[in-house]
Amino acid sequence: MIRLHDVTLSYRGRTGEVTALAHTTLKVEKGEFAAVVGPSGCGKSTLMKLVTGLIRPTKGKVEVDGADVTGPVKIAGMAFQAANMLPWRSVIDNVMLPLEIVQPHRGRLSRERAAYRERAMDLLGVVGLRDFADRYPWEMSGGMQQRASLCRALIHEPALLMLDEPFAALDAFTREELWVVLRDLWHRLGFTVILVTHDLREAAFLADTIHVMSARPGHIVETRTVDFPRPRPLDVLYTTPFTDLVHSLRNKIAEVRQA
Amino acid sequence: MRITAEDLTPVAFTLAIFVLWELACILFRIDSFILPAPTAVAAAMVQYWWPLLKNSFVTLWTTTVGFLLAVAFGIALGIIVGWSRAIYRGLYPVMIGFNSIPKVAVVPILIMWFGIGEIPAILTAFLISFFPIVVNVATGLATTEPDLEDVLRALGASKLDIMRKVGIPRTGPYLRGGGGVGNHRRQCRARPPDGSGGLQLPDAAGVRRPDGARDRGHPHVRGVRRAGKAHG
Ligand SMILES: Nc1ncnc2c1ncn2[C@@H]1O[C@H](COP(=O)(O)OP(=O)(O)OP(=O)(O)O)[C@@H](O)[C@H]1O
Ligand SMILES: [Mg+2]
């Protein structure tokens, strides 16, 4: 579904060039849950922008769904560390925002408003926000806003979900709760996910494959397959194979940071 | 709705200031020619109610017309300026520069050009509100959160879509702030209509905190001041 062939990306800035990614090769299959971990500033967010077509590679090729990426891919939903809700819209209107933009929903929205609203309500129900649909974002906690942000990323049923440290600003309990929410959404809807995270337990709990990146200029130095059986209960977090995996990932990142 | 102590403070402070003022006038035997006591002002307002009302009305409609013109042209120019970061960065200093010219200094020139009458009054009102509106609208448009912009662009949103869904709606509260006359608070936090939180924007001269309620009172205050002058 997603292929990066030997991709290099340099930002041209006032103070000269910064090479964020160098010779990155990555493969993510349809329906796969991929996690990307690596030291800060190694180009993870850059990788996300490349895959969604927000920026073009300096060298190399990015393919999504078998086609070259030459502009915004339009099949992706995104969520970031900040929920970025629009404060003048109610939660449900925030969630429905992508429908006002992506075709074919855009053309249908005014005619089939009730059906779409139902869909948004269902999604909010899955993340436990049904009762907050008509509230405003500032009436909600950070964790609740992040749930809404996930709904916004999924409302148009994208084939690809891009998450850039979506839970980084949350406390440990809320984070675990949202892991479960994301896990269940993924089981239900079967989209492809690329999750950038600094939390190795998060990566190990959720992902099928974990890609470890080197320090800047980043490239993938190691790809691990995670084969804990699914559906994974939270208890997996406290098993020995899990902690071993997290430990070895940690060592790997410490090593690439040194290099 | 319950009335809290916080709701009462503006009333309490206003009353306290009038009382202090009155006391000061009596205590220091200030000549009413230098500073009339509030009671004397109130008495004059009753006595001259008709000319005051008549002149206030003129001020009200001239400022309203000026303000509406400023809103129309200000939004239009603000959208143009805010459309691209390059235009915004280029024009921002110029607009701040124009905005910092004291409007009173321009009034004599306007009178020379248009004579005494309604037109200079309308234009003065226009000038006072025009630049803040442009700056506020443009800032609201030019400073969409990069993350949010990415979310929308990845969906295939055009620049126009982003403007319509994010840029323009978010200038709403700015507009009410920008429309207010003459209080230069260097603070800027776009708030939702009820003012309880919102998006953070960089601090910039001439960009005000939008709290329309307070600012809407101004034309009236100005009207009375002007009417007083006209009368005496
Ligand atoms: N728009 C830009 N212009 C210039 N340089 C940039 C730009 N965006 C990122 N960079 C540079 O590219 C490098 C990689 O940035 P990126 O945001 O992809 O890192 P990251 O892995 O997401 O980091 P973090 O884990 O801290 O979020 C950084 O050194 C950064 O300085
Ligand atoms: Mg990042």
CB within 8 Å of B154: residues ≥ 6 apart: A52, A53, A54, A72, A73, A74, A76, A77, A78, A162
Is B110 a residue whose pLDDT tops 60?
A: yes
Interface contact flag, A76 B192, Cβ < 8 Å? no
| Ligand 1, CB within 6 Å, residue ranges | A 11, 13, 18, 20, 40-46, 216
Residue B55 in any domain: the answer is no
Residue in A74, A78, A100 nearest the CB of B150:
A78
Does B162 lie in the same domain as B132? no
Residue where a domain terminates, one of B117, B141, B165: B141
Does B230 lie in the same domain as B160? yes
Q: What is the pLDDT of residue B1?
A: 66
pLDDT digits 0-9 by tens, B133-167: 888 888 877 877 888 888 898 888 888 888 888 88
Between B214 and B96, name the one with better pLDDT. Answer: B96
CB within 8 Å of B171: residues ≥ 6 apart: B75, B78, B136, B137, B140, B141
Ligand 1 binding pocket mutation candidate from A42, A80, A256 (most atoms within 8 A of CB): A42
Does B124 lie in the same domain as B174? no
Helices (H), A96-193: 105-108, 113-126, 142-154, 172-189
Q: What is the pLDDT of residue B228?
A: 36
Of A7-11, A85-89, A108-112, B99-103, the one with minimum mean pLDDT is B99-103
Residue B25 in any domain: the answer is yes
Residue B17 in any domain: the answer is yes
Rounded CA-CA distance A256/A39 in Å is 8
pLDDT digits 0-9 by tens, B158-217: 888 888 888 878 776 655 554 443 333 333 333 333 333 333 333 333 333 333 333 333
Average pLDDT of the segment spanning B89-109:
87
Beta strands in B38-182 (DSSP E): none
Q: Which ligand gives the minimal distance to the CA of A253?
A: 1
Rounded CA-CA distance B157/B39 in Å is 61
Beta carbons of A161 and A153 less than 8 angstroms apart:
yes
Residue where a domain terminates, one of B141, B163, B190: B141
Q: What is the pLDDT of residue A27?
A: 95
Residue B220 in any domain: the answer is yes
pLDDT digits 0-9 by tens, A178-224: 999 999 999 999 999 999 999 999 999 999 999 999 998 899 999 99
Does B148 lie in the same domain as B213? yes
Q: What is the pLDDT of residue A45?
A: 93
Q: List the strands of the sheet with A76-79, edge to edge.
A: A76-79, A160-164, A192-196, A33-37, A209-213, A220-225
Its domain, for residue B79, covers 60-141
CA of B176 to the centre of ligand 2 (A): 36
Does B157 lie in the same domain as B76? no
Task: Find chain B residues with C-beta within 8 A of A97's C-beta.
Answer: 152, 165
Please give the span between the terminal C-alpha atoms of chain A, in angstroms, as a whole number. 32
Is A245 a residue whose pLDDT tops 90?
A: yes
Does B196 lie in the same domain as B223? yes
Task: Identify the band that residue B219 occupies on the pLDDT scale cut at 50, 70 and 90.
Answer: very low
pTM of the model: 0.73
Beta-carbon pairs below 8 A across chains A and B: 73
Does B229 lie in the same domain as B156? yes
Task: Find chain A residues with C-beta within 8 A of B197's C-beta.
Answer: 87, 138
Does B150 lie in the same domain as B220? yes
Residue B53 in any domain: the answer is no
Task: Find chain A residues with C-beta within 8 A of B154's C-beta.
Answer: 52-54, 72-74, 76-78, 162
Residue B147 in any domain: the answer is yes
DSSP state, A43? S
Residue B52 in any domain: the answer is no
Q: What is the ipTM of this complex?
A: 0.84
Does B107 lie in the same domain as B80? yes
Rounded CA-CA distance A218/A220 in Å is 7
Task: State how many domains chain B has.
Answer: 3
Rounded CA-CA distance B33/B25 in Å is 11
Does B122 lie in the same domain as B80? yes
Residue where a domain terminates, one of B99, B123, B141: B141
Does B201 lie in the same domain as B121? no
Does B115 lie in the same domain as B100? yes
